[in-house]
Amino acid sequence: MSPGRFTGKVVVVTGAAQGIGRAVAERVAAEGADTVLVDRAELVHEMAADIARIAGTGTTAEGPTAVGVTADLETYEGAGSAIEEALKLRGRIDVLINNVGGTIWTKPFEHYEPEEISKEIQRSLFPTLWTCRAVLPHMISQQGGVIVNVASVATRGVNRVPYAAAKGGVKAITAALALEAAPHGIRVVATAPGGTEAPPRQVVRGPQPEGDREKAWYQQIVDQTIDSSLMKRYGTLDEQAGPIAFLASDEASYITGSVLAVAGGDLG
């Protein structure tokens, strides 16, 4: 922890109800941020209350220093409403951390139905694309800000071709938007997490593997993830949250357009 690192900053974290998103929200709140947690699950309001209490951040004149906002970021309308609500609650956004995404199905590409491919892209690409678009005019007007996208090293991984395509798009957004945003004092960066251990999800991402064939396909992902890591293990939520917080902070003020692999040596 770096106490006070985000004091005076408003940080918006998407996909914050659980997993990496919640770990990041907890981290930046503990380091002084006024935090807005965004998720489509109502659970996000409970998480925000817990974070405000645990982090000891209490309240300000505007209310609790960690607040929840529900929105479906797979649509531009949802992303726009989330950013508007954050601005209404806090008046500014200094950092946007785009964490929404995740594999829905795990199987060889020839077994994906066309509608499943569309849903994977909708889940893991468009929330980042839409929220970047929604927050950009505000950051340009204030001539500063940081966008941290969460991509994945699974752009080179088995049984997740649509997800890989989506996260490859997140990396491309990061590189291209950094070029446009730099003249406005805005940094755009990303991490590319590898396999990460997390508690069971309270809101499931998709259908669980059923039958021996589906379980074998999922196990191939686990095996390939560990084999590709030089450390031969999954990471922890804290090991993902730390680099994201660093890239979001002023300590990374000379870093933009970069994607940091956080995967035990697997570069994806």
Residues tagged active-site: 163
Tokens encoding 35? 């935090």
Q: Which residues pair with 186 in a beta bridge?
A: 145
First and final C-alpha spacing in the chain: 28
Residue pair 15/37 in contact (Cβ under 8 Å)? The answer is: no
Q: Which residues pair with 188 in a beta bridge?
A: 147
Tokens encoding 91? 């008046």
Residue pair 15/21 in contact (Cβ under 8 Å)? The answer is: yes
Chain centre distance of CA 5: 20
Tokens encoding 47? 């998480």
Q: Which residues pair with 38 in a beta bridge?
A: 14, 69
Quote the Cα angle for 208-210-211, to 5°: 160
Which residue from 126, 127, 97, 125 is spatially nearest to 240, judged by alpha carbons?
97
Tokens encoding 70? 């529900």
Tokens encoding 180? 């446009």
Which SS3 state, helix, strand or coil, does residue 36 take?
A: strand
